């Protein structure tokens, strides 16, 4: 399957919330997606299959830094490269906007996401003990998009 990410806007908030519900126990509402995507610097990306959203990523840029706000792939579409493609696509767009560093937070109880981020070049810079409701720690990870002459992702 060819994975072709595309930009998404606040007008798709209901579909984004629908996918989020299938991926997270504490999902974001349609209003939350709409509000985030209306913020300056917030960008969203999705992958579709037959018109249906199957993976999503949201980033927020502030000057030369950005945060990955959320990333999710529908359970039926996992381990097919969707999250990897969305990260690469989002990072490339941020790099083109002058972003040098991307941050994210991930639970120590999320081995799949930890493996994904390790593989895609994110490294740990901080830990927030017992940050999540399940008692797990949050790791703060960063990735430099432009360092020591490296080119775009």
8 A C-beta contact, residue 137 and residue 93: no
Of 19, 113, 141, 145, the one binding ligand COA (CB under 6 A) is 113
With binding defined as CB under 6 A, does residue 72 bind ligand COA?
A: yes
Q: CB of residue 107 vs ligand COA: minimum separation in angstroms?
A: 7
Rounded Cα distance between 92 and 136, Å, is: 31
Q: Yes or no: say if 127 and 140 are a contact pair by the CB < 8 Å rule.
A: yes
Q: Nearest approach, Cβ of 4 to ligand COA (angstroms)?
A: 14
Tell me if 115 contacts ligand COA by CB under 6 A: yes
Q: Hey, what are 41's tokens?
A: 């610097």
Contact 141, 122 (CB under 8 A): yes
21 belongs to the binding site for ligand COA (CB under 6 A): no
Q: Which pair of tokens denotes residue 77? A: 């579409």
Is residue 17 at the binding interface for ligand COA, with CB under 6 A as the rule?
no
Q: Which of 98, 112, 123, 135 binds ligand COA (CB under 6 A)?
A: 112
In angstroms, what is the minimal distance from the CB of 32 to ligand COA? 16
Q: What is the rounded distance in angstroms from the CA atom of residue 108 to the CA atom of residue 127?
A: 9
Which phi and psi (to 5°) does residue 122 adopt?
A: -90, 140
Of positions 29, 110, 121, 146, contacts ligand COA by CB under 6 A: 110
Cβ atoms within 10 Å, residue 146: 15
> Which of these segments, 8-16, 38-46, 71-79, 142-150, binds ligand COA (CB under 6 A)?
71-79
Footprint on this chain of ligand COA (rule: CB under 6 A) = 23-24, 55, 71-73, 78-84, 106, 110-113, 115-116, 119
């Amino acid at each position: 399957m060819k994975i072709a990410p595309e930009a998404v806007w606040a007008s798709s908030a209901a579909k984004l919330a629908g996918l989020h519900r299938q991926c997270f126990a504490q999902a974001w509402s349609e209003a939350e997606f709409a509000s985030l995507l209306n913020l300056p610097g917030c960008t969203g990306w999705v992958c579709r299959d037959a018109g249906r959203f199957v993976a999503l990523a949201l980033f927020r840029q502030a000057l030369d830094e950005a945060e990955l706000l959320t990333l999710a792939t529908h359970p039926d579409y996992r381990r097919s490269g969707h999250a990897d493609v969305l990260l690469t696509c989002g990072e490339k767009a941020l790099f083109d906007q002058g972003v040098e560093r991307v941050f994210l937070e991930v639970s120590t109880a999320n081995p799949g996401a930890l493996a994904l981020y390790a593989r895609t070049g994110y490294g740990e810079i901080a830990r927030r003990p017992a940050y999540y409701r399940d008692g797990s720690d949050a790791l703060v990870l960063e990735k430099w998009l432009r360092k020591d002459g490296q080119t775009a992702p």
